[in-house]
Each structure stands twice: as C-alpha cells, then as structure tokens.
C-alpha cells in the first residue's frame, strides 16, 4: 500500500489566492481562499497572500504537516521554471520575479512553478480528460487563450517554455490587434473580452439584440452577457457564438494538422457555452483538416472547471517528485 501523502496546489487569481490540499490520487482534501491586492508589489503578494493561504489550508486540513510533501503553483506568463522565476506576466505586471526560493524559505517545503495552462494540462493528463491518451492538446479560453501540448505522454515546453501559446496563431492576417502585438490572433477574436467587443461593435452599428437591455451601458457587455442572450435565442448572440466557434476551428485545424493529437481538450470560462461553440468548431475542423482522418481527433470539454488551476499545480508537484505516472 502506498504511503498516504498530500500536496498543495495554488491558483493565483486577480483578487484572491486559492490553495487546496490534494491526495496523491488527485482528490481535493480541502480548499481555502485568501484575498490579495493585485496592486501590491510581488513580494507583498507572495508574503501576505500566498504564504498565509498555504499555511491556512494545511492548518485547516487537520493533517500531520509531515504528510505534505510539496507545493505547486501555476502562473500566467513566461517563466523559467527551473530557476523558479516569473520572467514576465502581463496580467500580474510582474517582471523577473523570484517565486520559488522565497516561498521555499517561508514554507520550508519544495515549491514548483509552471505556466498556468501548462500546469492545467498536467491536471487533465493525470486526473482528467487526458487520462489514457499519449497525444493531446489542452486549450483554456477565458481572458486570453492559452494551451498545453502533450506528445508521447510528455508535456512539451519548448526551448524557452513557450510551447503551447496557441492563442497567438494568426487566423486573420488583417484582423484586430492582439495584446501580444500581432494582428489577427485567435485570442484577438475568440477570447472572452473579444467576444464581448464583437458584440458591442455590432450593437454600435445598429444591430438589434436583447443585450442592449441586459446592461446599463454597452461597456458592461461580457462574454457571459452574450451567452445569456444566446440561451434566450437572441439572433445576434447566436451568430457571435457561431463565429467564435469557427474562429476557434480555424486555429485548432492548424494544431491538428501540425501535431496530429488524439484529443483537443477545451476548458476555461468561455468553453462553458458548450455546444454553442463546440458544434461550429467541429464543423470548421471537418471542413479544413484534410491530411488526417476527419474524425480522428476528439474535441472534448475539460474535466476541471473552477479547480483547473489548483489541480494542475498539484499534478505538477506529484510529477516533479516522481509520485505519479
């Protein structure tokens, strides 16, 4: 019988930290939230946000602290995971921030960091929709579009840990400006804020929609607004989801042709629209992928939703310590 051990997974959000104790099998033992001020310097967020969250989740777990063997954290942005440094995170406004060493010193446990979507990919590999598959791609569609690639059963990071930035595949050469500086990226057309932008632009052109009456002003329209309107059979909202699915299908077709994955696993808040985007996405893929059997690659929803961040971070620790296979 395997020794009972636990790990802590951390998800750093825009306004709070989520920390969860996980069993080796991937089940959550307990979970806590701790508020942070995103305007504070990185050292303050680490010391006043992340450290207390980990201490709290371990204390409230009721476990013998010796059974906690490591801590993992997924971070948005570009990292040097070996050195444990966040090189650049546009969401957090962090540049060259040491993360691993300060946390290890404060918590007296090994700490591992990885890009947040890459770590979520590990969560799906070991505990979710990627189990049993040697070749798959995860994509998370929310404020941005990130990804993770598994080939031959291994997470692919690339030369400088940039493999998986699938949101920045160009699908419309003369399309809108993306936050990365390129034009026409999949993220610039199909991420949550850009779904909302396309809805606002259509309304400003005079198109009719119940979305006008769902908010006080057009700037309040979000992807969730579009989803709620689509559920009420609003024609504009339905068209925007149809277009979004086709934009995603364009990008995913390139991924399938280049990587030949068995599965594309789609998560993130935007993916909660379900078949509103999955159906047109599959149709676009079928139309464009010609070098591989059209039904070879499954397009499936992610197993993890709100716990994707902590589950992926927990899987990262277990893999790094050789406690999972």
Residue-wise pLDDT for 270-319, tens only, equals 999 999 999 999 999 999 999 998 789 999 999 999 899 999 999 999 99
Q: Residue 231: helix, strand or coil by DSSP?
A: helix
Residues 303/127, Cβ–Cβ less than 8 Å: yes
pTM confidence score: 0.93
Token duo for residue 47:
């010391």
Write down the residue that tokens 């636990």 correspond to.
6
Delineate the domains of the chain, giving CATH numbers in brackets. Answer: 6-123+307-320 (3.30.420.40), 133-301 (3.30.420.40)
Q: Is the pLDDT of residue 1 over 50?
A: no
Q: How far apart are CA 156 and CA 319, in angstroms?
A: 14
Backbone φ and ψ for 108, nearest 5 degrees, come out as 60, 40
Those residues with Cβ within 8 angstroms of residue 108's Cβ, 6 or more apart along the chain or in another chain: none
pLDDT digits (tens, 9 = 90+) for 39-54: 899 999 999 999 999 9
Those residues with Cβ within 8 angstroms of residue 228's Cβ, 6 or more apart along the chain or in another chain: 214
What is the bridge-based pairing of β-strands 16-23 and 6-12? Answer: antiparallel
Q: How far apart are CA 268 and CA 141, in angstroms?
A: 5
Residues 218/204, Cβ–Cβ less than 8 Å: yes
């Amino acid at each position: 019988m395997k020794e009972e051990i636990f790990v802590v997974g951390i998800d750093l959000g825009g306004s709070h930290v989520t920390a969860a104790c996980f069993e080796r099998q991937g089940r959550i033992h307990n979970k806590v939230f701790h508020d942070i001020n995103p305007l504070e310097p990185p050292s303050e967020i680490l010391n006043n946000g992340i450290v207390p969250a980990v201490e709290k989740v371990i204390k409230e777990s009721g476990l013998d602290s010796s059974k906690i063997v490591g801590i993992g954290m997924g971070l948005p942005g570009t990292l040097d995971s070996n050195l444990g440094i966040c090189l650049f995170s546009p969401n957090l406004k962090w540049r060259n921030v040491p993360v691993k060493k300060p946390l290890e010193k404060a918590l007296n446990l090994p700490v591992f960091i990885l890009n947040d979507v890459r770590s979520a990919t590990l969560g799906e590999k070991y505990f979710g929709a990627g189990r049993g598959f040697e070749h798959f791609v995860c994509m998370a569609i929310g404020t941005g579009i990130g990804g993770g690639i598994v080939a031959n059963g291994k997470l692919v990071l690339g030369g400088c840990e940039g493999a998986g930035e699938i949101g920045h595949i160009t699908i419309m050469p003369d399309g809108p400006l993306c936050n990365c500086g390129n034009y026409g990226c999949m993220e610039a057309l199909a991420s949550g804020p850009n779904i909302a932008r396309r809805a606002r632009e259509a309304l400003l052109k005079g198109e009719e929609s119940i979305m006008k009456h769902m908010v006080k002003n057009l700037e309040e329209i979000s992807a969730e607004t579009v989803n709620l309107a689509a559920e009420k059979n609003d024609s504009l909202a339905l068209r925007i989801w149809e277009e979004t699915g086709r934009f995603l299908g364009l990008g995913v077709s390139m991924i399938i042709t280049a990587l030949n994955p068995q599965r594309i696993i789609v998560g993130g808040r935007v993916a909660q629209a379900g078949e509103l985007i999955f159906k047109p996405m599959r149709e676009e893929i079928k139309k464009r992928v010609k070098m591989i059997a059209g039904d070879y690659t499954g397009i499936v929803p992610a197993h993890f939703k709100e716990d994707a961040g902590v589950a992926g971070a927990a899987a990262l620790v277990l893999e790094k310590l050789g406690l999972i296979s």
